[in-house]
Amino acid sequence: MADKRIRVVIADDHDIVRRSISALLKREDDLEVVGTAANGREAVRLAEETHPDVIILDVVMPELDGIRAAGEIHKSNSSTSIIILSMHYSTALVQQARESGASGYVLKQEATSNLIPAVRAAHEGRLSL
Amino acid sequence: MIRVVVAEDHHLVRQGICALLAQSGEVEVVGEAATGQEAVELAQTHNPDVVVLDLSMPRLSGDQAAERILAMNPAPQVIILSVHDDTTMVQQLIRRGVKGYLLKDAVSEELLLAIRAASQGQMFLSPTISSSVMTMLLSPPDEQATSAADLLTPREREVLHLVAEGHTNTAIAGILDISVKTVEKHRANVMSKLEVNDLASLIQEAIKQGLILLDE
């Protein structure tokens, strides 16, 4: 049986951050970046088009924020695992993330060490919030 | 190779910038900083050609770090990165000798262009900002308003920045290595120059006059 890579979509409003996360993920053999989005609307659309295994959503995005995008994606793509990326930790935000269907919550400042394990955990159906 | 110091407190952004520059084959990142203070120190110790400074950083903001770096002899060129397209700030920075101003959401394409330009002493501004700067340059000097930043001394601006970050007078004294009494004096001067009586009004007025910027 051929090994399938985990297909990931990245959504963040800063190009430089999208590139940075892409570079991070591309270093891993089992992960594949299948698309990037610059706002929540694009993220929802991309999720519907590409059906990724995991989608990483920045909380702060124009058009539609990460939490609401998560809600929409979770409703229409239940097989896509969602990771919320944020600059701040707040129990309220984590709660909202969980309620919107996210299985992971990662702080941007800790992304280099925590994002990849979170992506893998989410894909395996494990929670990391 | 153009030798660059990158100062940016958001880890992912800094990493992205360094990766982008490393890939170019023209730029060598000789130092990375996460605060304005570190940026100034790295500029002094490593003598880079260009320093890329995020405008909003903890401890010492990008514009204050820029001022110190540009006062060095010899001085590296400075490029500012920001999420804000605050034209007053841009104008002030350019008057002080900053060679580039880039908005963070478009930084990838423009960064290399800006660094190349700066290393040759030329300016590069994000297109969105260019037009407002042109207007400034075209208006006669006495029509240009005295900038709010010229009101405060560099030390007063430092204190204001730290007050806005929420530090106590004692903490500020420690950070700046001055006495608490001196901090109180600077604080009082800032408040009287901005014509405010309380902290909330101070912050509000400072933001209005472009002296401090809200981080994203």
Whether the predicted pLDDT of A115 surpasses 90 = yes
Domain B2-138 carries which CATH code? 3.40.50.2300
HEC readout, A89-117: CCHHHHHHHHHCCCCEEEEHHHHHHHHHH
Check B12 against A60: CB less than 8 A apart: no
B15: which 2 tokens? 């990493």
Residue of A13, A23, A111 lying closest to B11 (CB–CB) = A111
Q: In which residue are the tokens 């130092």 written?
A: B31
Amino acid, res. B166:
G
Whether the predicted pLDDT of A97 surpasses 50 = yes
Q: What is the pLDDT along chain B (216 residues), one digit of tens a residue?
A: 999 999 999 888 898 899 889 889 999 999 999 999 999 999 999 999 999 999 888 888 888 899 999 999 899 999 999 887 777 788 888 888 999 999 887 677 789 999 999 999 999 988 877 776 777 667 766 554 555 556 788 889 889 988 988 889 999 999 888 999 999 999 999 998 888 888 888 888 888 777 776 664
Element (H, E) at A21: helix A15-26
Whether the predicted pLDDT of A29 surpasses 50 = yes
Domain A6-123 carries which CATH code? 3.40.50.2300
pLDDT given at position B92: 83
Residue of A nearest to B16 (CA): A20
Mutate to test the interface with B, among A12, A13, A20 (most CBs of B within 10 A): A20
A106: which 2 tokens? 């990662």
Whether the predicted pLDDT of A126 surpasses 70 = yes
Q: In which residue are the tokens 């969105």 written?
A: B128
Identify whether B74 is preceded by a cis peptide bond (ω within 30 of 0). yes
Q: Which fold has domain B148-208?
A: Arc Repressor Mutant, subunit A (1.10.10)
Alpha carbon distance B81, B62 (integer Å): 9
pLDDT given at position B67: 92
Whether the pTM exceeds 0.80: the reply is: no
Check B107 against A15: CB less than 8 A apart: yes
Residue of A nearest to B17 (CA): A16
Going by pLDDT thresholds of 50, 70 and 90, the confidence category of residue A1 is very low
Alpha carbon distance B171, B169 (integer Å): 5
Cβ pair B104, B62 in contact under 8 A: no
In chain B, which residues have their Cβ closer than 8 Å to the Cβ of A19? 16, 19-20, 108
Rama region for B192: left / alpha / beta (φ>0; ψ in -120 to 50; rest): alpha
Cβ pair B59, B175 in contact under 8 A: yes
Residue of B16, B104, B216 lying closest to A20 (CB–CB) = B16
Calculate the average pLDDT of chain A: 92
- ipTM surpasses cut 0.85: no
User: Where exactly are the structural domains of chain B?
Assistant: 2-138, 148-208
Check A16 against B11: CB less than 8 A apart: no
Check A17 against B12: CB less than 8 A apart: yes
pLDDT given at position B216: 45
User: Where exactly are the structural domains of chain A?
Assistant: 6-123
pLDDT given at position A2: 47
Please state, as a whole number, how many other Cβ atoms lie within 10 Å of the Cβ of residue A124.
10
Check B13 against A17: CB less than 8 A apart: yes
In chain A, which residues have their Cβ closer than 8 Å to the Cβ of B32? none
In chain A, which residues have their Cβ closer than 8 Å to the Cβ of B104? 14, 16
Which position has the higher pLDDT, A35 or B200?
A35
Which residues of A lie closer than 8 Å to B, measured between beta carbons? 13-17, 19-21, 23-24, 60, 87, 108-109, 111-112
In chain B, which residues have their Cβ closer than 8 Å to the Cβ of A60? 216
pLDDT given at position B149: 55
Element (H, E) at B54: strand B50-54
pLDDT given at position A3: 63
Q: In which residue are the tokens 């075209």 written?
A: B138
